[in-house]
Amino acid sequence: MDFLEIEWNSNLYRQEIELRDRLLRAPLGLSFTSEELEEESAEFHFVLVENGEVCACAVIVPICNDEVKLRQMAVTEHRQRQGLGTNLIRQIESTLVKRGIQKIQLNAREKAIPFYQRLGYQTVGDPFMEVGITHWKMHHHLVDC
Ligand SMILES: CC(C)(COP(=O)(O)OP(=O)(O)OC[C@H]1O[C@@H](n2cnc3c(N)ncnc32)[C@H](O)[C@@H]1OP(=O)(O)O)[C@@H](O)C(=O)NCCC(=O)NCCS
């Protein structure tokens, strides 16, 4: 299992989009627009690859010098609950610490909250609606790790 930071619009990026579309968008009746994908050229794309297949992904958006937002976290269906999500987040966090990042924020779907809580992320404030489903804002201080 390889942990990679991949280039926007590369072959692996296109696999990342297929995974995100299947896991995060299609179930909600949504799809990516070309404008949304263009905007992602300024973001950082991290994946786990096994036998040439992207099994897990997450996107990191810079917020300021020492803070980022994690979005679009997904693990392929047949590999869920096998530690891949935990593995990917931990490797992203150690990469970000080396870049001087101290805090990660994210908007978690309600179903994913136990996953992030187990990794030390805490909910902040009240739930809100995004893409038609309930989300909670969560954050994690990497310096506290
Ligand atoms: C949420 C997701 C990223 C978790 O990745 P994963 O590789 O399955 O998670 P892990 O195997 O690392 O899970 C670690 C722990 O988190 C918790 N956890 C993970 N998924 C969970 C779920 N669906 N319900 C409750 N707890 C969960 C469990 O405590 C789990 O440990 P256990 O399996 O020993 O009980 C993955 O299930 C996924 O892609 N889901 C669909 C897309 C999605 O909802 N993405 C998040 C958007 S905010």
Evaluate if residue 65 carries a pLDDT over 90.
yes
Among protein residues, the one whose CA lies closest to atom 40 of ligand 1: 74
Evaluate if residue 120 carries a pLDDT over 80.
yes
Cβ–Cβ under 8 Å, residues 24 and 72? yes
Give the list of residues 6+ apart from residue 94 with CB closer than 8 angstroms, or none.
Answer: none
**How many Å lie between the centroid of ligand 1 and the Cα of residue 90?**
14
pLDDT of residue 143: 76
Mean pLDDT of the chain: 96
Collapsed DSSP state (helix, strand, coil) of residue 42: helix
Q: What is the pLDDT of residues 3-24, one digit of tens each?
A: 999 999 999 999 999 999 999 9
CATH number at residue 15: 3.40.630.30
| pLDDT band at 53; cut points 50, 70, 90 | very high
Its domain, for residue 76, covers 2-144
**How many Å lie between the centroid of ligand 1 and the Cα of residue 88?**
12
What is the reported pTM? Answer: 0.96
| pLDDT band at 145; cut points 50, 70, 90 | very low
Closest CA to 73 of 84, 62, 63, 64: 84
Cβ–Cβ under 8 Å, residues 88 and 51? no
Task: Report the percent of the chain where pLDDT is more than 90.
Answer: 97
| 5-26 as b/e: b if 16+ CB within 10 A | ebeeeeebbebbbebbeebbbe
Evaluate if residue 144 carries a pLDDT over 80.
no
Task: Report the percent of the chain where pLDDT is more than 70.
Answer: 99
List, chain by chain if needed, residues with CB within 6 Å of any ligand 1 atom: 23-24, 73-75, 80-86, 108-109, 111-112, 114-115, 118
Number of domains present in the structure of the chain: 1
What does the CA dihedral 82, 75, 113, 6 come to, rounded to 10 degrees? 120
**How many Å lie between the centroid of ligand 1 and the Cα of residue 117?**
10
